[in-house]
Chain A
Amino acid sequence: MSPRRASSTLKTGANSPLHPPPSPRTSSLAYSTSHPMSPGPQHNRPLIDFVTNEWQYAPDEELDDSDREYFEDKKGKGKRADAPPLPKWVAQAARVQIPRRVQRWAAVYTTLAVALWLAYSSFLKPAWEEEKRLDRGMAHALREGVQFGANIRPTFAGLTHLKKLDDALVPGRPGSTKQRLVFVGDVHGCKDELQALLDKINFNSNTDHLILTGDLIAKGPDSTGAVDLARRLHASCVRGNHEDRVLLAHASLHASLQPLPGPAEDPNTAEDDLDEESFSHGDYRDRAIAKKLSRDQVQWLTACPVVLQVGSVGKWNGGTEVLVVHAGLVPGVDVERQDPFLVMNMRSVDLDTLVPRADRKGEEWEKLWNHHEKHTHPASSRITVVYGHDSKRGLNLKKYSKGLDTGCVNGERLTGLVVRANGHEEVVSVPCGDWQSQKAKKEREEKAVRKAEKEKVGKKDGA
């Protein structure tokens, strides 16, 4: 506060009629007279003289009702008779005055402790226990005398287990003109959706390379069209469970030894009748697609390996090695020793033995995979798996596993993962038509029509 303003306050105070005149006793205070800021002798009065304390002299009658009650309470007049006396220790405790600053500290620290405990019990502890459980499982599965993948890996004619992607197709490799790798999940014959996805990312086959994670065919509207599109773009692929079935069915149809006809089936029929399904032991659908495929298409699909070894893609995902499979891989087992059927079909892994399962009864395989890779040292030897197959879990991007099947054929989306050598990654997707339910509806209608026709014929015969 400036001295000037102090003096003016004093002036107004002095001139106010509300205040009584100052007593001469207080004017003799040394402070007032000797104060260097003091404006002059005529204002030579200390501040204390202006304090009136009127309330002390004012009669009780002037208090309003609430005030009176308060004072009466204070004096004990209005004390309630039924209030029990507090126990001595409570009264004593109530009398202990805790400084407000201490109270504040206590509150802050209690909140912090509760928050920490919550974080620990709901996140840290389960994560830690999970970690321990996976470690124990892996250790148990890898103990002496037990090992998954100790057998001679099953091999089949017309099935390539492992293929290495050409350096010229990987961005960032010497001699490569490619800038982007595009991984696309299960297409299932949804050719138009695949085209739409490629248009959306301005796919250019000179600078981009397409890698399909299997199940390019079957279920959807245009399997052969999807294969043709992939071939035209010189895409790479892996063998999915549906390619596997269809190619096996194709091989059995074109075996050098003619397979025996079923009771009512001519194996050379080009068109299948739906009624045949019952006679052709369950692989009717696979055979129907196999019959539509041309020789070139079959050749292209047969060349798709079970495991595609991409190698590291520049700086992407820490420069880790990249493998593409359809369903999954068992952590800690060499790629060469992975069972091909399970690589194309697994959804979970039995934690006790590390044997994969086609169902979901075991541990999610990708959880175990990420656990194993995070504990693999040095980090440069870690592996990232790009896969599809599991539309139920949908887009499933983890550090070392990238699940891309987002259920296009069920009317959900078709998803692509676009990766560059500089480490940049982008997830792009397009909506899909609900082919699965359309197909089911069509089949139901066809069945109904046939049934009606049969009944008509029956009636005619009867008449």
Chain B
Amino acid sequence: MFLFTPFYLLLVCSWVAQSLPLYKRDADFLSVRTRLSRDYSGKGGDPKDKYFHESTFHPHYDGRFADHTLTNEDRRKHLIILMQTYLSTMSDIGAETWIMHGTLLGWWWNRKVMPWDSDVDVQMSESSMEYLASYYNMTVHHYRLPGVEHGRDFLLEINPHYKNPSTDDRLNVIDARWIDTETGLFIDITTLRRNRTAEVEGLEGHMYCKDKHKYLAAQIFPLRPSIFEGAPVKIPYAYAALLEEEYGPQSLTLKTFEGHYFDETRMEWLPTGSVPLRVSS
């Protein structure tokens, strides 16, 4: 009978609470939510080991922060802001990051994101990723931006599976994300890793990402400092050779693409509909 006295009840409860171990968990909707009352993260349908989720309405949005897609024009505007804030944050921290793939092609043409690109691609060195994971995981960076009232918060989230270098870990090819907590848009960050199996075989300077892209260290390093969307950026050493390899030489010459043409007076990609009428001679 005396077991049910309030004192003993409290004692038992605290014993139970202490004895249960703490489990690692991800930053789920409830722990990071801002303004939404419902989770659109898409976590429910994903395998248990997958860390980052794509929203239920669009793979390029984070469903913990957004419940709808943006118009193309808005998306582009916010993507540029996302890129600028990411680059300046990394430049401030001193983390070594550089642009790749379609983003690098956009840089080559006019130092801007190409209008038809729905995301941006960045890579990071192993040591920088380790540094961010150690000191900057789940940090929120506040930026005051022109035209944005009250500024905006950006979340730097590291995937704990970044420590697993295997390309077989297909659920976690993305090592980190830079997330706009207002629009749900994000930048995928992948780590460029030394190919240690190749090194054992005596091949030095081979590198790869978990998304199975392979590079030679000499193609990437030393990095070149440049400007992208007005922010300081790093460019891989052999940028032109990388672009030719990935997209073919015509990617550096074709002035019409995806319903756009390259206007050489404004040095910008404009929608094909806006081609000025040619003056006949």
Which stretch (A67-75, A184-192, A248-256, A375-383) binds chain B? A248-256
Which stretch (A84-92, A106-114, A275-283) binds chain B? A275-283
* From A145, A155, A251, A262, contact of B256 by CB (8 A): A145
Given pairs A146-B253, A154-B235, A245-B222, 18 additional interface contacts (CB within 8 A): A147-B255, A151-B267, A248-B222, A248-B224, A259-B94, A260-B94, A260-B96, A260-B131, A261-B127, A278-B199, A281-B217, A281-B220, A282-B218, A341-B241, A352-B249, A355-B244, A355-B253, A357-B249
* A282 close to B239 (CB less than 8 A): no
* From B110, B216, B250, contact of A152 by CB (8 A): B110
User: Across the interface, which residues of A come within 8 angstroms of B249, CB to CB?
Assistant: 350, 352-353, 355, 357
Contacting B at CB under 8 A, from A281-321, are 281-283, 286-287
User: Across the interface, which residues of A come within 8 angstroms of B96, CB to CB?
Assistant: 259-260
Cα-based distance from A56 to B180 in the complex (angstroms): 128
B240 at the A/B interface (Cβ < 8 Å)?
Answer: yes
Answer whether A249 and B222 are a contact pair too, CB < 8 Å, given A263-B127, A341-B238, A355-B249: yes
Contacting A at CB under 8 A, from B187-206, are 194, 199, 204-205
Total number of A residues with any Cβ neighbor in B under 8 Å: 43
Q: Which bracket fits the contact residues of B?
A: 35 or more
A257 at the A/B interface (Cβ < 8 Å)?
Answer: yes
Cα-based distance from A249 to B127 in the complex (angstroms): 17
CB distance from A217 to the nearest CB of B (A): 15
User: Across the interface, which residues of B come within 8 angstroms of A157, CB to CB?
Assistant: 225-226
Answer whether A154 and B217 are a contact pair too, CB < 8 Å, given A141-B253, A252-B222, A345-B238: no
B264 at the A/B interface (Cβ < 8 Å)?
Answer: yes
8 CB < 8 A contacts A-B = A146-B250, A152-B111, A154-B108, A156-B235, A248-B237, A251-B222, A259-B94, A282-B207
Cα-based distance from A152 to B265 in the complex (angstroms): 11
Answer whether A353 and B225 are a contact pair too, CB < 8 Å, given A151-B109, A152-B267: no
* B127 close to A354 (CB less than 8 A): no
CB distance from B268 to the nearest CB of A (A): 10
Closest residue on chain B to residue A151 by CB atoms: B109
Q: Encode contact with A along B236-266: 1 for CB under 8 Å, 0 otherwise.
A: 0111110010000110111110000010100
User: Across the interface, which residues of B come within 8 angstroms of A258, CB to CB?
Assistant: 94
A203 at the A/B interface (Cβ < 8 Å)?
Answer: no
User: Across the interface, which residues of A come within 8 angstroms of B127, CB to CB?
Assistant: 260-263
Answer whether A358 and B238 are a contact pair too, CB < 8 Å, given A146-B253, A278-B204: yes
User: Across the interface, which residues of B come within 8 angstroms of A262, CB to CB?
Assistant: 127
A342 at the A/B interface (Cβ < 8 Å)?
Answer: yes
* From A155, A248, A260, A341, contact of B239 by CB (8 A): A341
* A151 close to B110 (CB less than 8 A): yes
Closest residue on chain B to residue A261 by CB atoms: B127
User: Across the interface, which residues of A come within 8 angstroms of B159, CB to CB?
Assistant: none
Cα-based distance from A354 to B249 in the complex (angstroms): 8
* From B204, B207, B218, B244, contact of A277 by CB (8 A): B204
